[in-house]
Amino acid sequence: MLDQPEETHGDGVAPELKDREVLLSVNNIEVIYNHVILVLKGVSLAVPKGGITALLGGNGAGKTTTLKAISNLLKSERGEVTKGSILYRGERVQHLSPSDLVERGVIQVMEGRHCFEHLTVEENLLTGSYTRKDRAAIADDLDLVYSYFPRLKERRKSQAGYTSGGEQQMCAIGRALMSRPETILLDEPSMGLAPQLVEEIFGIVKSLNENEGVSFLLAEQNTNVALRFAHYGYILESGRVVMDGPAKALRENADVKEFYLGMSDEGRKSFRDVRSYRRRKRWLA
């Protein structure tokens, strides 16, 4: 089985974050949609405080489902966690509503931005503070968000539906920040954005992580960018974690290069080879 990637597993934490507290731990969860469709078949992962943890994999690998299982947006899509446990700061959070989780500091930024189109950018940001009671601090946080995303300040009075894709992504991240989160579950921030904007957004994610101490669990198809900014990575394939390790190690791994970065020892591979490779792999898997 030459083309089957070797399963290798790390110890769940990047070397530089070794002594950090683990905020979120997902233990062997199984997710079923509509009572029949098994999507996750035993996913485990850990998110340390102050780290950026990447969840990688192709379409349908289960990245979004994992995030939604954590934030509990699954329920509104008729999905449920049938096995395993999800702990946040040691507390089981499977039965909490999304708003309970937001109050505990876990918020999801959904794939495809999902801004409130007919609300202005500023109103969008303010909806992020829905669960908070401390009115005075909300105004300060609005300024903080604007300092990270000056573009949003320029457009604060325009309807979010009429802003550009990059601005909408910023709006969605800013909205999440308004809840004063401890952990942001960020789903596919690069989707549909120009490479330059992707760099800009990831740069902001990095500085939020470093300056504000926000932890990120990041689902991303763009393996290259994600591994450059993350501390630790998990690679999902058809609902299972097939490999995990510190981002640096993953970047160097031959299989990851082959399957996800489109590189091999001989340099860049032609697309035709990659495709046949992937197809045969499915057969064997």
Partner 1 sequence: MPDQLLFAMEVSLNGLMTGIMYALVALGFVLIYKASGIFNYSQGVMALFAAMTLVGIQEGRVPFSHLINSIFGTHITEFGFEVPALLAILLTVAVMIAFALFVQKFVFRHLVGQEPIILFMATIGLAYFLEGVSDLMWGSEIRQLDVGLPQGINGAIDNATFEALGYGFFIDNLDISAAIIAAILVAVLIAFAQYTKQGRAMRAVADDHQAALSVGISLNYVWILVWSLAGIVALVAGVMWGSKSGVQFSLSLIALKALPVLMLGGFTSIPGAIIGGLIIGMGEALFEFVVSSNDLFGAWFGFTFSATENWFAYVLALAFLVFRPQGLFGERIIERV
In the complex, the residues that contact partner 1 under the rule CB under 8 A are 71, 73, 76-78, 97-99, 101-103, 107-110, 114-119, 123, 126-128, 130-131, 159, 161-162, 165, 175-176, 179
Q: Which residues contact 50 (CB under 8 A, 6 or more apart)?
A: 17, 20, 209, 213, 215
In the complex, what is the shortest distance from the CB of residue 75 to partner 1, in angstroms, rounded to a whole number? 8
CA distance linking residue 128 with residue 174, whole number of Å:
8
Nearest distance, CB of residue 132 and partner 1, angstroms? 9
Measured from the CB atom, the residue of 114 and 228 that comes closer to partner 1 is 114
Interatomic CA distance for residues 54 and 32, integer angstroms = 23
Cβ distance 218 to 63 under 8 Å?
A: no
Q: Smallest gap, in angstroms, from Cβ of residue 128 to partner 1?
A: 5
Smallest gap from residue 106 Cβ to partner 1 (A): 10
Rounded to an integer, what distance in angstroms lies between the CA atom of residue 192 and that of residue 75? 27
Minimum CB distance to partner 1, residue 17 (Å) = 26
Cβ 110 vs Cβ 187: under 8 Å? yes
Closer Cβ to partner 1, 32 or 119, answer by number: 119
| Closer residue to partner 1 in complex, CB, 116/277 | 116
Beta bridge partner(s), residue 241? 236
CA nearest to 77, candidates 54, 111, 53: 111
Q: Decide whether 14 or 145 has the Cβ nearer to partner 1.
A: 145
* Least gap, CB of 85 to partner 1 (angstroms): 22
CA distance 28 to 81: 10
Which is closer to partner 1, CB of 29 or CB of 173? 173
Angle between helix 165-177 and 195-207 (nearest 10): 10
CB nearer to partner 1: pick between 167 and 244: 167
